[in-house]
Structure 1
Amino acid sequence: MHHKLFIIGAGAAGLMAAVVAKDLGIDTAILERNDRIGKKVLMTGDGRCNITNESTATGMDEGVALLRKYHSTQAEFPLGVLEQFGIRQTIDYFFMLGLPLTKLKEGMMYPMSLQAASVLDIFQLALEDREVPVYFNNKVVDVIVSTDHPRFTIVCQTETEERVVYTSEYLFLCAGGSAAPNTGSDGSGYTLAQRLGHSLIEPVPAIVQLRLQYPHMKALSGIKLQGKAHIAVNGEVVRSESGEIHFAEYGLSGPTILQLGREAAYHLAEGDSVTVTVDLMPGRSDEQLVDFLEMHWGIFGHRTVVESFIGILHKKLVPVLLKEAGIDQQPHMLCQDLSWKTKKKFYRLLKHWEFKVIDTNGFANAQTTAGGIDTTELVEGTLESKLVPGLYLAGEVMDVDGDFGGYNLQWAWSSGYVAAKSLAQQVAEGKNQ
């Protein structure tokens, strides 16, 4: 089977690239290892699909503002893509496909139905309207490059172990990273790119939970609160985030913690000491907290310490804090009997509760991958390989990852669009023929 362009992977980047490429006149087909499109997309945004984030859409400065949300060894690399197809273009494009978006908290944009399945249904309709074939249950196991035509020979393995060969003049690698391997995003795209001569920036989990070394995590499990968290490496704070924090038996989760996951993963992989400090009272400075509790305990000195925290802290927090402060054996201690030394322990715990990070929850629970194919080997602004003419990369497979809140899907849409547009321009100019 031959098509001018084959796209490996029917995830977000591959789907966008396929629709755009066909609209620009390129005979396009998709190879997908699963039995349906967009399996990973269904999991995003708690099943609602956080398509993008409007909070950084600031007109002419949108590309620069967006760049702050992305990470890459080549820090400026994403800008050349984001400036071509940013948030406004994404919102308009989905509207054009028949999928109007709605904004929820913190600028996060979702389909109006709040169902990730709607995104896939729209793409399925778009593929059918354009007669773009998707060859399901085809896992690409090898790609052979020739200087003749066809340039690419793509060897696939079907679910019955049968070998099938496809050929094309151009190839898009949109096979994802290593996060959520149960969806097919198992790092195989890296292997294919490396066989074609590309280098790999060692992948680590990103947007991922933290596993802590702390004996009382089970007692804290289930607590959700608004707080602030700081990741420190060898004692030096490298990133801070504010918002919702979740306590679990293994450690910490929630949007605030997920943002810190990539920093922890990278530094743990390098053997550094990593800690996370939680601020349970982010709305008050250290001095304001002391003043508040001194007044509170002064007024209610006749109450027990446990009673004094009613309405201030989550109930499940209090017994653990009493343990940390060393008065858990005195549950009926009155506020008026607290020593200054014990009070200082409470102040420190409420503003600077430090935990040792021993691991993340791994690729199986990560939302994306940090690291990937080295972007110095790609042409900035087109995403074509500098090593293999006619090969383009899009999505998570390259060394670009975004923050929590829709930015990784935005990268998928942006890179898929730009790769397709760039290829169409090259075909029109007669290059790589």
Structure 2
Amino acid sequence: MKASFDLVILGAGAAGLMCAIEAGKRGRRVAVLDHGDRPGKKILISGGGRCNFTNLHCRPENFLSANPHFARSALARFTPQDFLALVEKHNIPYHEKTLGQLFCDGSAKEILAMLLAECAEAGVAIFLNQHIQRVEKEEVFLVNTKASGFLAPALVIATGGLSIPKMGATSLGYQIAEQFGIAIQECRPALVPFLLEQSDQQDWCDLAGLSAEVIASTGRQQFREKLLITHRGLSGPAILQLSSYWKESEAISVDWAPEKPALTSLLATNTRRDANAAKATLRETFPARLADRLVDLATPSRWTNAAIQQLENRLHHWPFDPDGTEGYDKAEVTAGGVDTAELSAKTMESKRIPGLFFIGEVVDVTGQLGGFNFQWAWASGAAAGRCL
């Protein structure tokens, strides 16, 4: 048995639900299909369960894409203030954490409940446990599931990326794009921890759990935030940010003491100069074990002025050669995806397949850490929903 709608949306995540709300408000009969047993699973785990739902300082420069200008239109027409108005309408308490990041005071469940309430008010039908078997297009789109079929003149792909497969991530969106001859920019894990080579793991990973504010750099990109040492490598906001721009086999550099000299006091005339003195000085800035390790790994043979300056320079340009990343299992998002050259920047509709739309993470638009990927989901979903 086949059910007819004005549009069918594949994916009940952030982008899919926002698209459904906007289209439903315009009187469209909307069906949202999801293969999971509940909607919004990634919303619920985001921000440590408090959902970093947007960023007040959202700009196109916060996004990575083969076309860095593509996101500009959608982001300008649905802003963080627009989403914030919805949050405030539902009386959800929130706070700004750092760098414009907005979180719920309570739980991410409140954001999901808000979206579902808006869907219900707009008459949106949500169908869970729907395993897509085939998508076809003749006069209209036909989506066949194991249980039934759905007909609609418009089909919106909001299936997300490949990140966190244990949460249900699949390649369905990319498969549908390929089926219709739509180009895809190569996908890769983003906002993901780095692995270190075995020798570097032996030098560093017994310090797992220690963190410091650093500047982490690769190529022309750099981020000043916390770095966290893990059991297998490096993580923390600075590293996650950097990972989206990192290219395989490329070295990264860490400035352990941003914008300040760390060992200048050792250059004083009457100051003791040796490894213990250097460690004591660095302990004023770093956790003791981290301070000691930095000195142990770069102890000069003689404590001359030149050697101390070399150690100082090393602290500001400490090289690491990542042995890859933790992969999609630990990646917060997927970089790459449906080529933006194939889509209208205003509506997210395919330029070659009328009625076919791609929104959210499945598109080659990847935000930096801090609520930007949610804002892209809201903005791209609204862009599609408002034109359907």
Q: TM-score, normalising length from structure 1? A: 0.83
Q: 1:309 to 1:83 in 2, by over 3 A?
A: closer
1:252-401 aligned within 5 A: 252-264=234-246, 267-268=247-248, 273-284=249-260, 288-289=261-262, 291-295=264-268, 298-299=270-271, 304-305=276-277, 306-326=279-299, 338-340=303-305, 342-401=307-366
2:232 to 247, 250, 266: 250
| Runs of 4+ that moved beyond 6 A | none
Name the SS of the counterpart of 1:348 in structure 2: helix
Is residue 40–residue 180 contact of structure 1 (8 Å, CA) maintained in 2? Answer: no
Task: Tell me the residue number matched to 1:14.
Answer: 16
2:85 to 92, 97, 112: 92
Q: Does the alignment pair 1:127 with 2:119?
A: yes
Name the SS of the counterpart of 2:153 in structure 1: strand
Q: Does the alignment pair 1:226 with 2:231?
A: no
Q: How many residues align?
A: 382
Distance 1:377 1:72 in 2: 13
Could you tell me which runs of 5 or more consecutive residues in structure 1 were left unpaired when the two chains were aligned: 57-65, 158-162, 232-236, 331-336, 424-433
Q: 1:310 to 1:102 in 2, by over 3 A?
A: closer
Name the SS of the counterpart of 1:316 in structure 2: helix
Task: Tell me the residue number matched to 2:220.
Answer: 238
2:73 to 72, 80, 86: 80
Identity over aligned pairs, percent: 30
Superposed displacement of residue 211, structure 1: 1.4
Distance 2:151 2:44 in 1: 30
Is residue 217–residue 253 contact of structure 2 (8 Å, CA) maintained in 1? Answer: yes
Task: Tell me the residue number matched to 1:116.
Answer: 108
Superposed displacement of residue 5, structure 1: 1.1
Superposed displacement of residue 309, structure 1: 3.7
Amino acid at match of 2:319: E
After superposition, what is the alpha-carbon deviation per residue over 1:252-302, rounded to whole angstroms, capped at 9, x for unaligned?
1111111110122xx21xxxx311111111031xxx44533323x944559
1:29-44 aligned within 5 A: 29-44=31-46
Name the SS of the counterpart of 1:179 in structure 2: coil
Superposed displacement of residue 250, structure 1: 1.5
Q: Does the alignment pair 1:209 with 2:209?
A: no
Is residue 273–residue 303 contact of structure 2 (8 Å, CA) maintained in 1? Answer: no
Distance 1:289 1:310 in 2: 10
Distance 1:277 1:298 in 2: 33
Structure richer in helix, relative to its length: 1
Instruction: After superposing the two structures, state which structure 1 stretch, 71-80 or 345-354, moved more.
Output: 345-354
Superposed displacement of residue 193, structure 1: 1.7
Task: Tell me the residue number matched to 2:165.
Answer: 181
Q: 1:399 to 1:310 in 2, by over 3 A?
A: closer
Q: TM-score, normalising length from structure 2? A: 0.92
Name the SS of the counterpart of 1:311 in structure 2: coil
Distance 1:18 1:304 in 2: 63
Name the SS of the counterpart of 1:274 in structure 2: coil
Q: How big is the alpha-carbon RMSD for the aligned residues of Structure 1 and Structure 2?
A: 2.1
